[in-house]
Amino acid sequence: MKRCILILLSILLLGFLSCTEEERDYTELVNVFIGTAGDGNTYPGASVPFGMVQLSPDTRSEGSHSYGSHYYPDSVILGFSHTHLNGVGEPEMRDILFMPFIDGDKQALLSQRGVSYNHMNETGEPGYYSVIFDNGVYAELTVTGPCGFHRYSFPENEIPNVFIDLTHPGGAEDLYIRKVSDYKVEGMRRSHGWAYDQYVYFVAEFSLAIKEFLVSVNNEEFVLSNGDGARDLQTILRFEPGNPDLLIKVEKN
């Protein structure tokens, strides 16, 4: 009888412990910025296990500290690209860079000087990243397996703009982007790096209608164009003012 009671108590104790373990959220213990300050070459952005998209901020495009995309001592962000690798010793990925901005930041983005921010206004946790730029733009990122999701909140009275840089981080063999509708663009980036002859296709859908679709080809002035087949391609999308929040879904193929 005593043996049966001990067995029953043991089962109840194990059940209690298992329930306690299930209720604890271990993601609260994760510091996604570990490895970003030295030679760890890690990225702090949003990803899921075995996902096709790793949506994360890039603070530089050249040098060994750019391999993981986010070098913590940097004080500017070039944009948010959709593919990253952790702990690499060679530059790779960082394809399809998106960046929200206000009109005064355009030249800084075109010249890859980036937009300034403070780490006090930066947050990261498993599957989520956010930052408030010094210009007041608030960016939030999350992902599913094949998609990256952006939410950009713009200051009042500012025109929502999005910069798409297919040249980042170091140019490519073939690039194109085209406007499919007032709410959708699609494009491709082909590059030769550690992943030789890599093709990345994407479709981006927007919650607001695109009012202007401006493309710069080979460092020429922005013109209304699809830029099909260009080797050096940067794009600006302008949206209707008066809508502070812009939602974007980017599906990678």
CATH number of the domain residue 104 falls in? 2.70.98.10
Q: What's the number of domains the chain is made of?
A: 1
Nearest to 133 by CA among 110, 104, 107: 104
Question: What mean pLDDT value characterizes the chain?
Answer: 84
In a domain? residue 234: yes
In a domain? residue 10: no
In a domain? residue 146: yes
Report yes or no: 109 and 163 within 8 Å, Cβ to Cβ.
yes
Q: How confident is residue 142, by pLDDT bands cut at 50, 70 and 90?
A: very high
9 pLDDT above the threshold of 70 = no
CA-derived radius of gyration, the chain: 21
In a domain? residue 5: no
Nearest to 98 by CA among 168, 48, 43, 33: 168
In a domain? residue 3: no
In a domain? residue 40: yes
In a domain? residue 19: no
44-86 pLDDT per residue, tens = 999 999 999 999 999 987 777 777 788 899 999 999 999 988 8
Cα–Cα–Cα angle for 204, 177, 104, rounded to 5 degrees: 80
- Residue 235 lies in domain: 32-252
Distances (CA, A) of 111 to 10, 51, 97, 115, 201: 66, 31, 14, 11, 25
pTM of the predicted protein model: 0.86
In a domain? residue 223: yes
C-alpha dihedral (50, 139, 238, 221), degrees to nearest 10: -80
